[in-house]
């Protein structure tokens, strides 16, 4: 016994910034960003906290699933950085929801959502849980160098959530990690210890090697999706939809050229969100779920990559029937 998805939710800040807005801060342009990334705009936090986004996404997912917070047996939050070092974002979310179950965070960068699904799978397999809430929430805008035109246009803020229940919809899941402290890195605070001796205090924003990231991403999107399909006992051509990490449209297109999957089967929303790290795939899933794109029995291929360097892929059978779940307001 593993799980099936009972409900999805997502949230974003009120403030939307276009490429032209970013061009007011750094030497770039709308054409430069679009042509290299496919991104047109992104949401950024102004007054919102990560917890605001996580709570809204969680509440939407719980509403769709028709599950009360008191029914939850576990809350997982995937995030690079919560609002606090401690308590965890998951514990703060548990308190806000009025739940009473175990709750903890995990950090696998952009692969965090898949790592959280795999963790949840373990709880279901051991009969430790009947209902699990998984939230991925990121405020990447707070971790960027707005003098670096190669990174600051790429990322946005948001949260995505799923409620999981007992079922057999997870056909396979595959995770990897290849320790690499240089390709993608965000340094932490050094604090104020009088005993610390550092010649060069850490700069607390994202550092990324674009070329190395691109090569790693394209090759691993293909490899990991193939492995997940093989473990599920299906052919890649059997997939109805592919939900790839929304990091860069060029990366997705690079994978499309190498895989025997029609381009119309790829779900894409990077143009409106940018890269929301761990939140990207659950946000994408919620958007296309609420459009009614997915039908019961559809096979979904999820594939991600991120700092670490980490990857994740999974094959899921969709079980939510939009005709039964959505009221007229939700289905718009």
| Tokens standing for residue 147 | 């003098």
Q: Tens digit of pLDDT for each residue in 18-39?
A: 999 999 999 999 999 999 999 9
| Closest by Cα among 224, 223, 218 to 257 | 218
Same domain flag for 134 and 207: no
Mark which of 168, 191, 206 sits at the end of a domain. 168
Same domain flag for 139 and 210: no
Could you tell me the CATH number of the domain that includes residue 251?
3.40.47.10
**Any idea which residue has 């090569």 for tokens?**
215
Mark which of 168, 183, 201 sits at the end of a domain. 168
Q: Quick check: is 284 in a domain?
A: yes
Residue range(s) defining the domain that contains residue 297: 172-325
What SS3 class is residue 131?
A: strand
pLDDT at 324: 65
Domain count, the chain: 2
Q: Quick check: is 332 in a domain?
A: no
Active site residue 101: no
Output the pTM of the full model.
0.95
Q: Is the pLDDT of residue 332 over 50?
A: no
Average pLDDT over residues 147-155: 92
Catalytic residue (choose from 222, 245, 248, 267):
245
What is the chain's mean pLDDT, rounded?
Answer: 93
- The H or E element containing residue 303 is strand 299-306
Same domain flag for 143 and 197: no
Q: Sheet containing 170-180: give its strands across.
A: 170-180, 308-317, 299-306, 241-244
DSSP state of 189: P
Q: Quick check: is 331 in a domain?
A: no
Catalytic residue (choose from 45, 91, 110, 267):
110
Active site residue 110: yes
Same domain flag for 156 and 190: no
**331 pLDDT tier (thresholds 50, 70, 90):** very low
Same domain flag for 159 and 196: no
Burial of 189 (0-12, 13-18, 19+ CB in 10 A): exposed
Contact 173, 312 (CB under 8 A): yes
Please name the residue ranges forming H helices in the chain.
Answer: 19-23, 30-37, 50-65, 89-97, 112-125, 210-232, 249-258, 270-273, 280-290, 322-325
Burial of 167 (0-12, 13-18, 19+ CB in 10 A): middle
Q: Quick check: is 330 in a domain?
A: no
C-alpha 36/C-alpha 102 separation (Å) is: 42
pLDDT at 328: 38
Q: Tens digit of pLDDT for each residue in 232-280?
A: 999 999 999 999 999 999 999 999 999 999 999 999 999 999 999 999 9
Q: Is the pLDDT of residue 326 over 80?
A: no
Q: Quick check: is 147 in a domain?
A: yes
Same domain flag for 246 and 314: yes
């Amino acid at each position: 016994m593993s799980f099936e998805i009972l409900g999805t939710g997502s949230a974003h800040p009120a403030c939307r910034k276009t490429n032209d807005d970013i061009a007011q801060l750094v030497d770039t342009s709308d054409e430069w960003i679009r042509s290299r990334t496919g991104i047109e705009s992104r949401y950024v936090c102004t007054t919102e906290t990560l917890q605001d986004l996580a709570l809204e996404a969680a509440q939407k997912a719980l509403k769709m699933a028709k599950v009360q917070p008191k029914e939850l047996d576990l809350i997982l939050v995937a995030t690079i950085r919560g609002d606090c070092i401690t308590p965890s974002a998951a514990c703060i979310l548990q308190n806000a929801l009025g739940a009473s179950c175990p709750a903890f965070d995990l950090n696998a960068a952009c692969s965090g959502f898949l790592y959280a699904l795999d963790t949840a799978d373990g709880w279901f397999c051991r009969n430790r849980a009947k209902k699990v809430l998984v939230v991925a929430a990121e405020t990447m805008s707070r971790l960027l160098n707005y003098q670096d035109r190669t990174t600051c246009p790429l990322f946005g803020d948001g949260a995505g959530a799923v409620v999981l229940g007992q079922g057999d919809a997870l056909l396979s899941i595959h995770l990897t990690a290849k320790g690499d402290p240089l390709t993608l890195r965000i340094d932490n605070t050094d604090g104020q210890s009088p005993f610390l001796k550092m010649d060069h205090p850490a700069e607390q924003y994202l550092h990324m090697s674009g070329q190395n990231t691109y090569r790693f991403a394209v090759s691993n999107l293909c490899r990991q999706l193939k492995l997940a399909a093989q473990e599920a006992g299906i052919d890649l051509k059997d997939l109805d939809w592919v939900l790839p990490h929304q990091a860069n449209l060029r990366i997705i297109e690079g994978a499309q050229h190498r895989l025997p999957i029609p381009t119309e089967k790829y779900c894409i929303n990077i143009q409106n969100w940018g890269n929301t790290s761990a939140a990207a795939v659950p946000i994408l899933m919620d958007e296309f779920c609420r459009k009614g794109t997915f039908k019961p029995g559809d096979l979904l291929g999820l594939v991600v990559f991120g700092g670490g360097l980490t990857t994740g892929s999974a094959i899921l059978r969709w079980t939510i029937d939009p005709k039964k779940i959505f009221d007229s307001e939700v289905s718009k």
